[in-house]
Structure 1
Amino acid sequence: MPMGRTHPAARRAVPRATLGAAVGLAALTLVRWLLADRAVGLVLDALLAAAAIIGTLDAAHRARAGRSRLGWRCDTAGLTLWLLAPLAWLSPLPEAAATAGRTGFVLCTGAACWFTAKTPAMSSRVRLVVDGAIAGAALFIIGWHPLFEGTVDAAEGGLAGAAAVALPLGAVAALTLFGTVSITEIPRCRRAMPRLYMAGLATVALSDVLWVRTGHPLWAVGFAFVLLGTRVYRGTSERREVVSTHPGLVYAPYAALVPAIAVILVDYLGDGVPEAVAATAVVTGVLLIVRQQATLVENRHLVERLEATERRLRHQAMHDSLTGLGGRALLHDRLETATAEHRADGTPVAVIFLDLDDFKQINDVHGHAVGDHVLVAIARRLGAALERGTQYARAFRMSGDEFAVLLRGDAARDAAATARTLLAEITAPVEVDGTSVSVGGSAGVAVPGPDVPAEPSALLRAADVAMYGVKHGGKGGVAQAHG
């Protein structure tokens, strides 16, 4: 079967599996909602949590990246800790054990989302976490009167009341974090698992409230969503690199606060802002400041990365990738400066063109890998020979087996002698894997004069012509263009 095509039976199986999962979830939702026996319902919740644990263990085995594997293991730990809740409610264990287990689930889920993000910058991860916290704070302010105030009252305050509000909000914060990662990093074709996982988190968050308010949670349904997510998981996906705040999410946290601010204004103009809402508003303000600072750091890192990339690209454009020597563009740039100085104050300048004789035979007899090795060795010899001088002298690779040398100052006063020295250096045999490879060379020298203007193109052309004059006359010598 050609790659990229899906068998017709497989295409039919996908909607069937989706329909089956939907029907199963609907049935599970109805069963869990109708269960009047508290113990039976909690046992069902625990069984689905255990099934989800097995699914996360299998997903961790299929994960190809270390961070993804660690994220799934955090999910496994969180689900395992959650099992303390039904165990405590069905045994003489104190309520604190149930709260600790559910708190551990939320914390581990948040850690899993943290590890899921592939962004390398710590500032980006901090911003993602803060965005989740802002979403949870906004939800708390919006839902205080219709939802959370009654939930705290139903829990009779204290630790249970705090947990009844904090745990679902924590789940929502983790959901926001994971949703942001999904939108910004994960390809659309691989978002089935994140969507099911987020549906599970949303259901668990709702269940924490329903448990206190009605006694009819849907934890089993939430864990069923997580289990389905592990079933459709195909291993770590190729992630898009996010170097800054995603354009679609730049203002999302601020937009989420608009209805929260409206609620605060209504309360202020009415019976007054509740203490819990006021405290949350203050915390939200601090979170916004932290987010702004994280964004500034993130943008600074982006600028630094762009500058580093620009330097790297400029270096690649100006240098030869094989030998590391400057390239033709860099030679022109340096020659522009040198000829300008010569025209201004008479600073000597010269150009040497070096061409390896019969280099094609090395590639034909020994192969291109050996030829590349010889070119690298020649470049090193040129660099070492020029470094021994006291004046400015620099080698460049023009193309193929052609090199150029730019001389300035006293080094340019006897360019022909320098060219002969360089030829002696490069014609020494090169050892490659125990084989001695010999190569010759021809050189042309150009200095400014009456017939050679102090212009980059004129000097390069004159040196090139002089070098080819040597090659046509028998190779292996030095010729200087008459200025």
Structure 2
Amino acid sequence: MIFKIVAVSYMASLIANTVLLLGGVSLIMWIKREPMTNFIGKHKTLLSCIMGDALIILAYMQLWVNQNAATTLVGFHWTYFNVMLVATFNLLIYTNNRWQMLYTLVGTAIWPLTGKVTVPLVLGTLGLLVVTYFIYCVTDRIMHSGLLYTVLFIIYSAIWLAMTNDMFGHQSRPAWGRQIAALIVLNLVVFGYYQMLKSQLDRMDTFRHQAQVDELTNAHTFAMFNEKLADAFTQFQQDGKLYAVFTLDIDHFKRVNDTYGHLAGNKVLTAVAHQIEHVVESGQYAGQVYRTGGEEFTVILHDIREDDQEAETMLRTVQAAVGTLMFTFDGQQLQVTISLGGTHVYTEDTNYLQVYKRADQYLYDSKRHGRDAVTLRGRTLAR
């Protein structure tokens, strides 16, 4: 009968602790990788530490209650001690934060004070402090080495178990077997679950990057452009901050592909996108470059002044930067030109697409005027 009670209690505790730890891992990973609000995104490291430490404190409180309320310390009720140990070790690694490291050091130094202070406890504490700091220093290596992770967990756990056994008395070999087996299972489950989640989230990040960034030119995609243009229009309606939209198209680009091949065309696209990006980054206004068509790029500049001279300077700078590019294909030199159209948002605009449609119309006005031209707010500028 006693065996059945111990077995059922052991399995129930193991399952409950596994669920508790996996829930904690899921919550921390969500905070770190999927912030749904600006507050969470700004404070995700702090929140991860708080959530993890709250789990450790909860386990310690339950451990303390069990130790002081139980009449028979079968296995010392170390099921919650296992939770504390696994959570502390993995939180130190996965948060990779100095404040978490300092918190762990402080908690490690205070723990022996809960029992009778002895020389072995003092030596064990000093050893734990050294191991804890070492883990923090080599966190990046641990994340990429299962062997190093395993070795450090064994050392960390062995010191903790020896210290706790010395503080609360010795237990039987079967109890030790249950204790160590549960500890191994819990940490393997946490390690495996974390790796699985990380792999899935990394794939999601890859898909998100592919959806947001054009692989060839490294400019943002049309989907991102559509989203950011809508955001800019909403922001304009709320606070009146102006934004500008510039569209540009490489002149006679089909001729480049037909004459020199698509690889040559790809090289031209990449170089042009790089030049536009360089001009935008060097300008006085925050902006992004988007690939909105085969050879068409669009720029959004935020929080601008309504100044035609500034806008003209920006457009002509982009035009001149692209004009400096020189390509050599099949022994022949090639220089490309671009046509541009630019405008800014107006109070009369009723939806975000009107700004883009206007800029796109001005781009085609430049093409109708012989290409290699700039049309700004409906007026094609002199060359």
When residues 338 and 450 of structure 1 are mapped into structure 2, their CA distance, relative to the original with a 3 A threshold, is: closer
In the alignment, which residue of structure 1 is the partner of 2:245? 351
Residue among 318, 321, 327 paired with 1:425:
321
Q: Does 1:474 align with 2:348?
A: no
Asked if residue 446 in structure 1 is aligned to residue 343 in structure 2, the reply is yes
Select the residue among 193, 202, 208 that pairs with 1:299.
193
Match in the other structure for 1:328:
222
- SS of 2:301's equivalent in the other structure is strand
Q: 1:436 matched to which residue of 2?
A: 333
Against the structure 1 CA distance between its residues 347 and 428, is the aligned structure 2 distance closer, same or farther, given a 3 Å change threshold? same
- Structure 2 residue matching 1:466: 3-state secondary structure: helix
Map of 1:462 onto structure 2: 358
Q: One-letter code of the match for 2:342? A: V
Return the alpha-carbon distance in structure 2 between the equivalents of residues 374 and 349 of structure 1. Answer: 28
Per the alignment, residue 100 of structure 2 pairs with: none
Query: Secondary structure, in 3 states, of the residue corresponding to 1:395?
Result: strand
TM-score, normalised on structure 1?
0.40
CA distance in 2, matches of 1:458, 1:474: 25
The residue type paired with residue 122 of structure 1 is G
The 1-side partners of 2:200 and 2:281 are apart by 33
Q: Distance in 2 between matches of 1:284 and 1:450?
A: 72
Question: Would you say the 8 A contact 1:395–1:406 is kept in 2?
Answer: yes
What SS is found at the alignment partner of 2:333?
strand
Aligned CA distance change for structure 1 residues 301 and 391 (closer, same or farther; 3 Å): same
Give, in whole Å, the separation in 2 of the partners of 1:281 and 1:316.
52
| 1:160-215 deviation digits (Å, cap 9, x = unpaired) | xxxxxxxxxxxxxxxxxxxxxxxxxxxxxxxxxxxxxxxxxxxxxxxxxxxxxxxx
Task: Find the aligned partners of 2:305 and 2:220 in 1 and give their Cα distance.
Answer: 19
SS of the counterpart of 1:391? coil
Give the AA of the match of 1:442. Answer: S
In the other structure, the counterpart of 1:385 is 279
Tell me, yes or no, if the aligned pair for 1:320 and 1:327 is still in contact at 8 Å: yes
The amino acid across from 1:404 in the alignment is: T
Quote the sequence identity (%). 24
Cα distance change on mapping 1:427 and 1:469 into 2, 3 Å: same
| Cα deviation 1:39-70 (Å, max 9, x = unaligned) | xxxxxxxxxxxxxxxxxxxxxxxxxxxxxxxx
Match of residue 21 from structure 2 = none
Distance 1:411 1:430 in 2: 34
- Specify the structure having the higher radius of gyration (Cα): 1
More deviation in 300-309 or 369-378? Answer: 300-309
Paired with 2:224 and 2:266, the residues of 1 have a C-alpha distance of 21
* 2: CA distance, partners of 1:401 / 1:464: 13
Aligned equivalents of 1:443, 1:387: Cα separation in 2: 18
Q: Does 1:371 align with 2:268?
A: no
2:231 to 301, 324, 337: 337
Listed one character per residue, the Cα deviations across residues 248-307 of structure 1 (whole Å, up to 9, x for unaligned) are xxxxxxxxxxxxxxxxxxxxxxxxxxxxxx846742441232111121122122222222
Return the offset for 1:357. Answer: 0.7
Specify the alignment match of 1:395 in structure 2: 289
Is the contact between residue 269 and residue 295 of structure 2 (CA under 8 Å) also seen in structure 1? yes
Q: Which amino acid aligns with 1:457?
A: L
| Aligned counterpart, 1:410 | 304
Q: How many residues align?
A: 213
In structure 2, C-alpha distance between the alignment counterparts of 1:455 and 1:428, rounded to whole Å: 37
Q: Residue 385 of structure 1: CA displacement?
A: 1.1
Amino acid at match of 1:477: A
Q: Structure 1 residues 427, 406: closer, same or farther in 2, change over 3 A?
A: same
Q: In the aligned structure 2, how far is the partner of 1:411 from the partner of 1:395?
A: 19
The alpha carbon displacement at 1:444 in A equals 1.2
Looking at structure 1, the residues matched to 372 and 352 of structure 2 have their Cα atoms a distance apart, in angstroms, of 26
Of residues 251, 255, 267, the one that matches 1:361 is 255
Instruction: Give the distance between the partners of 2:178 and 2:328, measured in 1 at CA.
Output: 67
**What runs of 5+ residues in structure 1 fail to find an aligned partner?**
1-119, 127-277
TM normalised by structure 2 equals 0.50
CA distance in 1, matches of 2:259, 2:328: 13
In the other structure, the counterpart of 2:146 is 122
Q: Which runs of 4+ in 1 moved over 4 A?
A: none
CA RMSD of aligned residues (A): 2.9
Displacement, 1:354? 0.3
| Contact persistence 1:448–1:454 (CA under 8 A) | no
Could you tell me how far 1:409 is from its partner in structure 2? 1.9
The verdict on how the C-alpha distance between 1:454 and 1:409 changes in structure 2, with shifts beyond 3 A counting, is farther
State the distance in 2 between where 1:345 and 1:281 align: 67
* 8 Å CA contact retained: 1:357, 1:439: yes
Shift of 1:343: 1.7
